Amino acid sequence: MRRCVITRYSKQLTPINYSCAFSTFSQCRERLNVSQLLSSGAEAKDAEVYGWVRSVRRQKKIAFAAVGDGSTIESLQAVLKPEHTANLSTGTAVKLIGSWQPSVGSKQSHELQVHSVSVLGENDAEHNPIQPKYQTAEYLRTIPHLRPRIPLNALLLRIRSQVIASLTRFFDAQGFVQTHPPIITSSDCEGAGEVFTVSSHAHKETHADGEHLQTNDDHFFRIPKYLTVSSQLHLEALAQAVDKVWTLSPTFRAEKSDTPRHLSEFYMLEAEVCFTNDLDDVMQIVEQMLSAVASDLLRSRHGAELLGVRGSSIQSVDGNINKEVTAATLEQRWKGMAANGWPRITYADAIRLLQNAVADNKATFTYTPNHEDGLLAEHERYVAAEVGGGNTPVFVTHYPRAQKPFYMSPSLTTENGNATQDTVACFDLLIPDLCELVGGSLREYRLKELQEAMAAKGVAGSSLEWYQDLRKYGSVPHGGFGLGFDRLLCYLTGTSNVRDVVAFPRWYGRCDC
């Protein structure tokens, strides 16, 4: 029992004691988690292990439990007396004390010879929605609060965390300022339509048949407000204060799409840099950033664990696809992304490439590629595979102005005058299978030209007065990009559906938990 004394008040007031009546256990105490224990070669007489039972195997005189605690995809082998396993099933939370020693079996180097088992949390094995057998991805999406307990899903959580840490390090080292642009906003970056609206003062009445809503909108913010669809415009304002900014923040689209690539709520990584009129600069940042992320993954324990899973037949959240994305494929992806010098091709050249492919009978498409209709998913896939060679991301640049939003800079005439007529200085980054991962451009930084572009695109100036202001008082040439963070995780982890890399996915009709 520890005593905690109020440092300044121990004399005047009764000292207090925070300990519980029963034996306490503590995060802060020096103890190793399963990952640390497995990777430490040392033996230990009275090792304490806290975790969840992954499986139990009972023999006549001996029983084995595989135990994990979310620190690694590996399990620790606990050796127990069969009579001590009566209450143990897949999911039970336990505290084990035992001797950590070289294993008798050959499947692991060490095992825990258990002296003492305490059940911290019982498991209702019969009704547990997570069962130790194959369960479809569709089913698991109905129980997002329990799904991360599956070892592969826990690994996906750890990899998300690692990628965030890599990005934070990268931008910090490059002198970017991490910012928190607003979520509730009055602007709609890409034109109205697919936004969620925000209101207050809704009164809930609970009826027998569920929950009903009476909207009594009191205009909390005076005029209607929306959930942001992109932080770009706000980032442009912040960039003009500190030159280079980035954010990784939630973004919303009220699209009724039901695809493996779209969510209603998703994380977007966005960055803006000032003092450049060279699109290459923006692409270079994207390339270096993703290269850093992929390099970290290649070197990391989590990366190695994922390759181990993809190389085995361990139950996966995306069952069938797992067979397609092998460990070898994944490693090639990471290496392709870690390497520098990604190919770049103009939109005009990409269309020509597609048309040549059709003419030469090298490819067939449902929709004939042409300059006006843009690159459809099937076209992007072909371009990504052909130009990138399968594992290297590809920049497609200089799209027609008609296909892109008002805020993009026009391409300027090039030395040899080709391919830039009525195009904008922008790029999409295509990756194999997933198609567009990043979109970026130089921004129109001149007031008159911006106003003309807004008028041409039918964007009402009134709600974007503030954005025009940025061009009135010391505007500078600048550019930036946005990356679909959840899609990046799909690609890096070989997960085919974005609903399976997001802990609590929201899409049309679905907002569980």
Q: Does 122 bind a copy of itself (CB under 8 A)?
A: yes
Within 8 A by CB and 6+ apart from 411, the residues are 398, 420, 423, 424, 425
> With CB under 8 A as the contact rule, which of the stretches 365-373, 383-391, 400-408, 433-441 interacts with a copy of itself?
383-391
Site string for a copy of itself, 352-371 (x = CB under 8 A): xx------------------
Q: Which of 75, 77, 85, 179 binds a copy of itself (CB under 8 A)?
A: 179
Using rule CB under 8 A, residue 389 touches a copy of itself? yes
Q: Which stretch binds a copy of itself (CB under 8 A): 240-248, 293-301, 330-338, 430-438?
A: 240-248
Q: Which candidate, 429, 125, 501, places its Cα nearest to that of 285?
A: 429
In the region spanning residues 299 to 338, those forming contacts with a copy of itself, defined by CB under 8 A, are: none
The residue (of 28 and 42) whose beta carbon lies closer to a copy of itself is 28
Please identify, using beta-carbon distances, which residue of 103 and 132 lies nearer to a copy of itself.
Answer: 132
Q: Is 99 in the site for a copy of itself (CB under 8 A)?
A: no
Which positions from 185 through 214 interact with a copy of itself, judged by CB under 8 A?
185-187, 192, 195-202, 204, 206, 210-211, 213
Question: 295 in helix, strand or coil?
Answer: helix
Q: Is 18 in the site for a copy of itself (CB under 8 A)?
A: yes
**Beta-strand runs (E) in 394-470:** 394-397, 426-431, 435-442
Tokens of residue 342, six digits: 């990604």
Rounded Cα distance between 128 and 133, Å, is 12
By CB under 8 A, residue 7 contacts a copy of itself: yes
CA dihedral 215, 220, 225, 228 (to 10 degrees): -100
- Is residue 295 involved in binding a copy of itself (CB under 8 A)? no
Residues in 400-459 at the binding interface with a copy of itself, rule: CB under 8 A:
412-416, 418-419, 445
**Residue 27 interacting with a copy of itself (CB under 8 A):** yes
Asked if residues 411 and 424 have their Cβ atoms less than 8 Å apart, the reply is: yes
346 near a copy of itself (CB under 8 A): yes
- Please tell me the distance from the alpha carbon of residue 470 to that of residue 447, in angstroms, as a whole number: 9
Q: Is 19 in the site for a copy of itself (CB under 8 A)?
A: yes
Q: d(Cα 63, Cα 61) in Å, to the nearest integer?
A: 7
One residue of 37, 65, 137, 154 binding a copy of itself per CB under 8 A: 154
Short-list 236, 283, 247, CA closest to 476: 236
Is residue 150 within 8 A of residue 130, CB to CB? The reply is: yes
Question: 3-class DSSP state for residue 147?
Answer: helix
Residue closer to a copy of itself, measured from CB, 287 or 331 = 287
Per CB under 8 A, 139 contacts a copy of itself: no
Interface with a copy of itself includes 223 (CB under 8 A)? Answer: yes
Residue 208 is given by DSSP the state T
3-class SS of residue 443: strand
- β-pairing verdict for 76-80 and 110-121: parallel
| Position among 252, 399, 407, 491 found at the interface with a copy of itself (CB under 8 A) | 252
List 81, 102, 275, 370, residue binding a copy of itself (CB under 8 A):
275
Q: Does 30 bind a copy of itself (CB under 8 A)?
A: no
The strand ranges marked E within 306-348 are: 344-346
Q: Is residue 73 a contact partner of residue 90, using CB atoms and an 8 Å limit?
A: no
Of 58, 84, 115, 149, the one binding a copy of itself by CB under 8 A: 149
The verdict on 243 binding a copy of itself (CB under 8 A) reads: yes
Name which position in 59, 106, 215, 366 contacts a copy of itself (CB under 8 A). 215
Q: What is the 3-state secondary structure (H, E, C) of 79-94?
A: EECHHHHCCCCCCCEE
- Interface region with a copy of itself, contact rule CB under 8 A, candidates 48-56, 58-66, 321-329, 364-372: 48-56
